[in-house]
Amino acid sequence: MSNRTDTTRLQDMARAYTTSAVLYTALDVGLFTHISNGHNTEAALTQETGLRPVDVDRLVSCALSLDLLDWDGDQLCNAADVETYLVEGKSRYAGPWMMFTRPDVSGWFQMTEKMRHPDSTTLGMYDELTVESARKYHQATASIGFGAARRFVRTVDLSDRRHLLDLGGGSGAYSITAVETFEGLKATVLDLPPVVIATEEYIADAGVGDRVTTVGADFTQGEFPSPVDVVVMASNLPIYNSEVIGAVVARAFRALESGGEMHLIGEMLDDDRKGPVDAAMWGMNELVCGSEGRAHTRGECEEYFRSAGFVDVEVTDFVSGTLARCFGRKP
Ligand SMILES: C[S@@+](CC[C@H](N)C(=O)[O-])C[C@H]1O[C@@H](n2cnc3c(N)ncnc32)[C@H](O)[C@@H]1O
């Protein structure tokens, strides 16, 4: 095998922002939705989007080369994941989540400046949340959160549990899905005060207001509603540093009944920190958003659980390459 190296990988990395930009524009102009609706030639796309033929040609070339599109004879078609998640109007449309971090793009390109002149708080972007911004935020998280919640209830059997506490529950995806799946279960979504207004709307839409309640609070402070026999904390791990996460896990332990269980689901680094890239990047996102959070390793998460007193602690893949799940049981 040759040891020769070249610059290809580094050049790709230097221009990786081009991929995000193409995806955003494809979503802006409804490229995948038009194709799914049968406008699957460049002439038809030019007509539907109102763009110049040359720009449709450019966009289609990029989308084909990124495997977002393919050919079906002489017609364009969406890749399988694009057809499922990026076609507006479909039940699993995740466009809001794909666009969710777009406003942060300029912040990512000020990273050096932000490191040289740091300005951070414990809550970061959550300091400034309003009910309106929370609604918009959770339109994005719900577009993937309910899918993750369905995966959770397929993975974890809560049929003997009675009360779930959902820390930073957002849209209530995990709580709503869990009570819909497990008959005897009730749930409490604890999230910041502006957020739980939006949470209530998801609960009402799902018709589970008699079994899911909310508490508006900051989980970095104060004791948690108790007693509960399951605690879930999903998709907020890198927002906080080790001290905060360790303290949250310890307070969750105190809120649990003996025999209860906790699940911490989030982007976790492997112990050698060589990946997944996404976990590292969510840690860096906290620089951009102005919090003190960072990416945590699987081993660190296990340690937060063991230090709190949990037993049978283990981390398993939740969504391979993206999310891991740390489990612990209170003796
Ligand atoms: C990415 S969302 C995840 C929502 C939900 N767990 C899910 O997986 O769909 C992160 C959530 O954590 C909440 N959160 C972050 N910091 C919090 C804090 N200090 N106290 C309460 N909730 C917090 C946010 O408001 C937001 O709803």
Instruction: Indicate whether 175 pLDDT > 80.
Output: yes
Give percent above pLDDT 90 in the chain: 96
Distance of CA 68 to the CA centre of its chain: 21
Q: Say yes or no: CB of residue 40 within 6 Å of ligand 1.
A: no
Q: What is the pLDDT of residue 61?
A: 98
- Please answer whether residues 218 and 246 qualify as being in contact, where contact means their C-beta atoms are separated by less than 8 angstroms: no
- Please answer whether residues 162 and 135 qualify as being in contact, where contact means their C-beta atoms are separated by less than 8 angstroms: no
317 three-state secondary structure: strand
Q: How confident is the model at residue 278 (pLDDT cuts 50, 70, 90)?
A: very high
Q: How far apart are CA 259 and CA 103, in angstroms?
A: 43
The residue whose CB lies within 8 Å of the most ligand 1 atoms, and thus the one to mutate among 123, 139, 191, is: 191
288 exposed, middle or buried (CB, 10 Å; 0-12, 13-18, 19+)?
buried
Span from the CA of 303 to the centroid of ligand 1 (angstroms): 22
Q: How far apart are CA 300 and CA 217, in angstroms?
A: 26
* Per-domain residue ranges of the chain: 8-93, 108-329
Give per-residue pLDDT as tens, 283-326: 999 999 999 999 999 999 999 999 999 999 999 999 998 899 99
The residue whose CB lies within 8 Å of the most ligand 1 atoms, and thus the one to mutate among 236, 239, 292, is: 236
Residues 6+ apart with CB under 8 A from 319: 148, 151
Residue nearest to atom 10 of ligand 1 (CA): 236
CATH architecture assigned to 108-329: 3-Layer(aba) Sandwich (3.40)
**Tokens standing for residue 2:** 């040759």
Give per-residue pLDDT as tens, 189-228: 999 999 999 999 999 999 999 999 999 999 999 999 999 9
Q: Say yes or no: CB of residue 276 within 6 Å of ligand 1.
A: no
CATH topology of domain 8-93: Arc Repressor Mutant, subunit A (1.10.10)
Instruction: Indicate whether 42 pLDDT > 60.
Output: yes
Give per-residue pLDDT as tens, 86-133: 999 999 999 999 999 999 999 999 999 999 999 999 999 899 899 999
Helices (H), the chain: 8-14, 17-28, 31-36, 42-49, 53-65, 80-85, 95-99, 105-108, 111-116, 131-155, 173-181, 193-206, 242-255, 277-289, 298-308
| Mean pLDDT within 14-43 | 98
Instruction: Indicate whether 2 pLDDT > 80.
Output: no
Residues 6+ apart with CB under 8 A from 13: none
Residue nearest to atom 12 of ligand 1 (CA): 168
Give per-residue pLDDT as tens, 241-264: 999 999 999 999 999 999 999 999
Instruction: Indicate whether 268 pLDDT > 70.
Output: yes
Distance of CA 100 to the CA centre of its chain: 10
Q: How far apart are CA 16 and CA 66, in angstroms?
A: 12
Q: Say yes or no: CB of residue 168 within 6 Å of ligand 1.
A: yes
- Please answer whether residues 148 and 177 qualify as being in contact, where contact means their C-beta atoms are separated by less than 8 angstroms: no
68 three-state secondary structure: coil
154 exposed, middle or buried (CB, 10 Å; 0-12, 13-18, 19+)?
exposed
**Listed residue (110, 87, 108, 97) closest to 38, CA to CA:** 87
Angle of CA points 25, 77, 63, to nearest 5°: 35
**Tokens standing for residue 8:** 């290809």
Q: What is the pLDDT of residue 3?
A: 79
Instruction: Indicate whether 25 pLDDT > 80.
Output: yes
Span from the CA of 151 to the centroid of ligand 1 (angstroms): 19
Q: Say yes or no: CB of residue 172 within 6 Å of ligand 1.
A: no
53 preceded by a cis bond (ω within 30 of 0):
no
| Mean pLDDT within 156-184 | 98
Q: What is the pLDDT of residue 1?
A: 56
227 preceded by a cis bond (ω within 30 of 0):
yes
